[in-house]
Amino acid sequence: MFKTVKQNRAYQDVVEQIQEAIMDGSLAPGRQLPAERELKEQFGVSRGTLREALRVLEQKGLIEIRTGVAGGSIVREAHSETLSENLALLIRNRVVSLQDLAEFREGMDGGVAALAAKRCTEEDRVALQSLLAEAETHIKEGRKGWDLFVRTDEQIHMLLARMSGNQLYIAVLTSVYHNIHSYYENYLPWSKALIQENYLDLCNIVEAVSAADADKAREISQSHVRRFNAYMEGKQA
Amino acid sequence: MFKTVKQNRAYQDVVEQIQEAIMDGSLAPGRQLPAERELKEQFGVSRGTLREALRVLEQKGLIEIRTGVAGGSIVREAHSETLSENLALLIRNRVVSLQDLAEFREGMDGGVAALAAKRCTEEDRVALQSLLAEAETHIKEGRKGWDLFVRTDEQIHMLLARMSGNQLYIAVLTSVYHNIHSYYENYLPWSKALIQENYLDLCNIVEAVSAADADKAREISQSHVRRFNAYMEGKQA
DNA sequence: GCTTGCGAATGGTTAGACCATTAGTAAAAT
DNA sequence: ATTTTACTAATGGTCTAACCATTCGCAAGC
């Protein structure tokens, strides 16, 4: 009938109050919180308790703490680094497997490519071509350039994500790409032919996106990821 | 030439040491850490500093802290709650808009449905049918049942996510559904016809998934989400 | 055999002090 | 006049020592 009374620990209460203030905008990004010795008075807690609360908020990525006379707690702009960090944790703990990552990417890359095609600007076209040219250069460098090629490949995919203009895609894919990179290096049977194939796929995707052909961009992008996942499964087996 | 010496704060050092121990398996899930008063000796720091470290680890979701005589810091099983929480933070901070959410869902639901179809078990089929029956009941309840219907709809989608067996989809979609729910309530022009249409879509998706028809499940699911997003855009304009 | 109450271990909180870092300012050197 | 240096004060970082609050187990009493 009755709910157990929630025994909030003091530091949790402090965390919630500050977090709320940040959420509803009364504490805008860049704003500086009062000094610890004053905050502790406002909340009516000891400095130790207050500091535990600040540590939690820092870990959540909501504030940044600087030392020195003009230092203090500063409200951070919202960002996706914490998300990325958490994802990395899950991967290192094998909660999220390589297959999970690959499947997930398969579902998302098509959507991103389609949105990117829909919102492609002249500026984007130039940037894509520039990255494509860079990729071609790395291919010609032979084996030494492979690593750089992979990096450029990632940059192209991230540019597509940014072009989608969708913050969720950007945040999630940033984490996924960051963490899938190491897998690809270890598990993909890199070869000259594979790199070439990858490059051709990229060219086709860029072409479709530049032509604002959303459906084609989605299709090519999905089959591209699917094919690479298949290669990787073959290697693991 | 030289990198600036990283001035690790004491509590960070403690965090890293414990985190490493958890990662490399020397501290298995379920294991209990020594009491604070002993840990502080082992690390050679004060109790306050140690507690700041423990708070950070707790926020990261790596340990759980219990009070009482048999309490202490216990290593948690790896999980994706923190990821969901971080995603929710981004969404609440308006970094992610309603349109972002909807577009994102469009990209993901198809992938989830396809995977669910591929991995559907007999047990899943029963559970899906049961939820579908529940949804039908709510429809017949008239306007009062709408809210319950929407909730059941969400449950079906979450079940599909779990059926996909992909931890990443599960973690991300949990946050997305949680946060998109309130939007739908406010922005969708709910009507008897719309509910009916929604219900029919669900039936078709469940049928395709039960028949293990991945492509069909993907297609129906995507067009379903796309149609609803279109309705919502119409309402906003 | 069950209940009650006490004791001990553990996390939660407090108070006050001192150390470390840093921005600004005033003094000194050029 | 400009640059360098040194000092000052404010702020976060850490430490010590104590007490409070919660919980489990055991022993006494019913």
B96: pLDDT strictly greater than 90: no
Within residues 12-41 of protein chain A, the ones with CB less than 7 A from nucleic strand D are 33, 35-37
| Chain B residues whose beta carbon lies within 8 Å of the beta carbon of residue A104 | 111, 166, 168-169, 172
A25-33: list long-range contacts, CB under 8 Å, 24+ apart.
A27/A75, A28/A75, A29/A75, A29/A76, A29/A77, A29/A78, A30/A74, A30/A75, A30/A77, A31/A74, A31/A75, A32/A72, A32/A73, A32/A74, A32/A75, A33/A63, A33/A72, A33/A73, A33/A74, A33/A75
Share of chain A above pLDDT 70, in %: 95
Alpha-carbon gap, residue B145 to B105, rounded angstroms: 25
Instruction: Give the single-character DSSP code of B74.
Output: E
Q: Judged by CB atoms within 8 Å, which residues 50-109 of B form the interface with A?
A: 51-52, 55-56, 59-62, 78-80, 82-83, 86-87, 89-93, 95-97, 99-101, 103-104, 106-108
Which tokens hold the place of A23? 């959420």
Inter-chain residue contact B83 with A87, CB threshold 8 Å: yes
The DSSP letter of residue B61 is: T
Residue reference for tokens 């290669």: A231
Name the residue closest to the C1' of C22 by its CA: A68
CB A41 within 7 Å, strand C: no
Rounded-to-integer distance, Cα B88 and Cα A61, Å? 13
Query: How would residue A46 be classed by pLDDT, with cut points 50, 70 and 90?
Result: very high
pLDDT of residue B8: 81
B27-80 tens-digit pLDDT:
999 999 999 999 999 999 999 999 999 999 999 999 999 999 988 999 999 898
List B74's β-bridge partners, or say none: B32, B64
Top mean pLDDT of A96-100, A187-191, B10-14 is at B10-14
pLDDT number for residue B99:
84
Q: What is the pLDDT of residue A5?
A: 59
A192 min Cα distance to partner chain B (Å): 31
Q: Which two tokens stand for residue A106?
A: 């398969």
Residue A86 to residue B86, Cβ atoms within 8 A: yes
**Mapping DSSP to helix (H, G, I), strand (E, B) and coil, where does residue B34 land?**
coil
Higher per-residue confidence, A16 vs A236: A16
Write out chain B residues lying below 8 Å of A7, CB-based: none
Flag whether pLDDT at A160 surpasses 90. Answer: yes
Residue A71: which nucleotide is closest by CA–C1'? Answer: D11
Which pLDDT band, with edges at 50, 70 and 90, does B3 fall under? low
> Of residues 68 to 127 in chain B, which lie within 7 A of strand C by their beta carbon?
68-73
Bridge partners (DSSP) of residue B73 are B65
Decide: residue B154, CB within 10 A, 0-12 exposed, 13-18 middle, 19+ buried. middle
- Sorted by sequence, the CB contacts under 8 Å of residue A79 that are 6+ apart come out as A61
For residue A3, the model assigns a pLDDT of 61
| Burial readout A191-210 (b: 16 or more C-beta within 10 A, e: otherwise) | eeeebeebbebbebbbebbb
A59 vs B contacts (CB less than 8 Å): 55-56, 59-60
To the nearest 10°, the Cα dihedral for A224, B220, A175, B51?
A: -150
A168 band by pLDDT with thresholds 50, 70 and 90: confident
Is pLDDT of B4 > 70? no
Partners of B72 in the beta sheet?
B66
Sign of CA dihedral B208, B209, B211, B215: positive
Contact residues, chain B, for A80 at CB < 8 Å: 90
Nucleotide nearest to B65 (CA to C1'): C11
What is residue B69's DSSP assignment? T
3 state SS of B28: coil
Q: Say yes or no: Cβ of B7 under 7 A from any atom of strand D.
A: no
| pLDDT given at position B98 | 80
Assess whether pLDDT exceeds 60 at residue A156. Answer: yes
Among the partner residues A58, A92, A108, nearest to B108 by beta-carbon distance: A108
Q: ∠ CA A111-A113-A116 to the nearest 5 degrees?
A: 110
3-state secondary structure chain A: CCCCCCCCCHHHHHHHHHHHHHHCCCCCCCCECCCHHHHHHHHCCCHHHHHHHHHHHHHCCCEEEECCCCCEEEECCCCCHHHHHHHHHHHHCCCCCHHHHHHHHHHHHHHHHHHHHHCCCHHHHHHHHHHHHHHHHHHHCHHHHHHHHHHHHHHHHHHHHHHHCCHHHHHHHHHHHHHHHHHHHHHCCCCHHHHHHHHHHHHHHHHHHHCCCHHHHHHHHHHHHHHHHHHHHHHHC
Cβ distance A51 to B52 less than 8 Å, yes or no, reads yes
Task: Note the CA–C1' distance, B69 to D26, in angstroms.
Answer: 14
Greatest distance between any 2 Cα atoms in chain B: 73
- Name which of A125-129, A207-211, B5-9 the model is least confident about: B5-9
* Residues 6 or more apart whose Cβ sits within 8 Å of residue A70: none
What pTM value is reported for the model?
0.83
Question: Which nucleotide shows the minimum CA-to-C1' distance to residue B44?
Answer: D15
pLDDT over threshold 70, residue B169: yes
Nearest CA in chain A to B48: A48
What pLDDT was estimated at residue A6?
63
Mean pLDDT of chain B: 90
Which nucleotide is at minimal CA–C1' distance from A46? C14
Q: Using an 8 Å Cβ cutoff, are A101 and A176 in contact?
A: yes
Q: Does A71 contact strand C, using a CB cutoff of 7 Å?
A: yes
